[in-house]
Amino acid sequence: MAASEANSDSLTGQSGEDPLVGILERLDARLSSEAEISELPELQNPVAIERDASGIPHIKALNLKDAAFAQGYVHAQDRLFQIDLARRFASGRLSEVFGADTLNSDRFYRTLGLSQLAATAYQNLAPEAKAAIDAYSAGVNAYLATNPDLPPEFQALGYQPEPWQPTDTLVIAQEQNRIGVTDGEELDRARLLERGLSRDRIEKLINPYPEDAPTILQPEDIQPSTASIGQRELQGAIAKLPQENSLKMEMMEEVETLFSNPIEASNNWVISGSRTTTGKPFLANDPHLPLQEPSLWYQSHLETPEDEVIGVSFPGIPGILIGRNQDIAWGVTNTQVDGEDYYLLDETENGSGYVYRGEVRPYQIREETIQVRGAEPVSLPVQETVYGPVVSDLVGINQPIALQSIALQPVDGTVESALGIIQAQNWQEFREALDFDDAASAQSQNFVYADVDGNIGYIAAAKFPIRQPDHSGLYPVPGTGEFDWRGFIPFEEAPQVYNPESGFIVTANNKLTPANYPYEINGNFAVPYRAERIRELILSKDKLSLEDMQAIQLDQVSLLYRDFRPILERLEPISEAGQTWRDRLLAWDGDTQPDSVEASVFEAWYTELTRLPAAEVGQEYFDRPIFLSQAIQAGDPVLDRPGSEPGLFDEAARALEDAIERLGEPIRAWGDIHRASFVPSNPAQTSPNLQVSYGGDRYTVNIGPYNASDFSMEAGPSYRQIVDLSNPENSLYVNPPGQSSNPDSENFDDQLPLWQRGDYLPMTTEDYPLVELAVLLPEQSG
């Protein structure tokens, strides 16, 4: 929902005072005389933009509308190429700049139709959100109009950025919402089904969430409900699927990547004052996303007479998406909820329509034309159905299949919710900002909350489909109408808790709800190691300090190691080197620090173990640790190599030998072979990536996911934040590699060393070093 009526004046700002005096009264006199002053059309009131030593803008405005204008201005100033690329990516317009190399990506996004959805969503926006987006767009365009010297990427690629449109903001928001939604691994299951595997075997491979693993909500958090318990057996839920294995899966790797979130990870947690040394809550968040230069995030501080907020925004979108104001703090992780389904269509013989509820429905055809640099335009007719677009070509299935997704909706509550959260002063106002029953937001995020009065809370802000009793969402189903969604879980009954008995809440993309929750919620829930480790560390002390919060966020003890240690204990090494390293690994504590040589051997050994299912699943590395651990210890015969002894401990011993051979001599420390790499957002850039030594693995709290073929790490903690609600000015954050996209700027990578060694910047709205000042003034008429 948008900001409350009581706060609506803060968007437009009504004041009888001289606004320039109010904005500039606290500025340093020496710098104010040297300030860069710009007169800009469409700006309603003066705005001051202070820069601190890290290049973070502190925006002082009379109202949130002017603050949004200034935020658009500084996003363009620091990240112009990044935001232009983001809108092109989500709109399916990369090929206009990069040629035929990006056609697959453009076909994907043109098929989804995010641009059309954004255009409709703009018309459906509440007035406050529309005013903020309009102001933001005007700010971007004001920078473009007054700064003809473009970043070098535009010159290198030979094109000029177009004026920013409000729908550009919404198409970026649509894409960010889309990658937060999962398909419940339907395509993975369908691919295994096509390989001839039984459904029972598939469910062992893609194993369900362990019954004893932690869920976000605890059983005591569930309130009595009039809804009936919706848990159902898997076999019943898939009983009506076509029995023949007729789905031919030939999806291209590039498009498969577009459909999937490359990393199923983020952490946030909140601890009540009853468990802290300050008597007030702590809140921590570190979203795990691709590591890029420049950062995916942009630090900002926005201040008006009514509101003050600091945190990170997403370039291209106004507001603060993760952060704090003077009263509350919040953080987000992906819910990993299954909000997408694939429907197999019964197409007519002439291919012009499909049978739905006993009647022939004609396809609605949307004609798309993709402009391709250096080549002829490409025509793309897109077939639309009652469920959504036909995506057969994208997923490589040999029959018509349509995608229904909570993210492909002609509404978007991202900016509306952000405005409400910025202005929220308590739990009730925070909840109202996330109430998606009216806003129909496509967000799918776990929000944790804390306030200065000592309260903590959690809300899963998502549209949770209610499926038919015999449809789990785990496999594609016939699109005849019998498996249609029955609606969505009402907001009041969505997973949420306020001041839980436990005194803390942890979300790490783990399962949301325990068995006594009254609805079935499926999803691609992460292996629970991170959630288990965070809970373990929280419960290890009676009272936790700010330093303890940092230690938790930086922890790299691998619970993956704990799960696979029993295998090490039982295997018989093949060689003397194998014996030596087995003994060293058994004496190790599982802490995958960059200087650990044991971490190198363990991670290489585990990677070799992920090869065992290759023949069965048709995938070189099958990273399913719970399945692998159970299968090896149980002696799963399918994984036995031909000609080997029965049982899999000999395979585990051979994997250790292969790992040692792969690493060579001398075996280097983990951080020497496992390096965090920040990939340029410009795909045409040829300069080397920023790289630093790093620890962790895919399952540590301080995550270090890596490519199995070379141990390179291109995703991880993209931002870290810890908020101290006893003194919000004592809060911390860091945003690698830095604020600026200009490699010549000292703020390009100045936060990278902090991030690497586990340090932070003060998340302060006061007493920051002022090194630069810009004043934006309304253009004088006449």
Starting from the edge strand earliest in sequence, which strands make up the sheet with 340-344, in order? Answer: 401-405, 340-344, 477-478
DSSP 1: -
Say whether 149 counts as a known binding-site residue: no
CA gap 205, 615 in Å, rounded:
13
Instruction: Give me the amino acid identity at 42.
Output: E
The tokens of 11 are what? 């968007």
Peptide bond into 57 cis (omega under 30): no
Label the pairing between strands 690-693 and 675-680: antiparallel
DSSP 44: -
DSSP 278: S
CA gap 206, 188 in Å, rounded:
9
Instruction: Give me the amino acid identity at 468.
Output: Q
Q: Shortest CA distance to 366 belongs to which of 351, 397, 388, 344?
A: 388
The answer to whether 266 is a known catalytic residue is yes
CB neighbour list of residue 658: distance below 8 Å, 6 or more residues apart:
608
Q: How many Cβ atoms sit within 10 Å of the Cβ of residue 348?
A: 14
Contact 447, 461 (CB under 8 A): yes
Peptide bond into 294 cis (omega under 30): yes
Sign of CA dihedral 583, 585, 586, 591: positive
CA gap 491, 487 in Å, rounded:
12
Annotated catalytic residue within 10, 91, 115, 266: 266
CB neighbour list of residue 444: distance below 8 Å, 6 or more residues apart:
177, 180, 181, 334, 335, 337, 339, 406, 407, 461, 462, 463
Say whether 186 counts as a known binding-site residue: yes
- Give, rounded to a whole angstrom, the gap between the first and last alpha carbons of the chain: 40
Cα–chain center distance at 552: 20
What per-residue string of b and e applies to 74-88 under the rule 16 or more CB within 10 Å gives b? bbbbbbbbbbbbbbb
Say whether 200 counts as a known binding-site residue: no
**Which residues carry a binding-site annotation for Ca(2+)?**
186, 338, 341
Query: What residues are labeled active site?
Result: 266
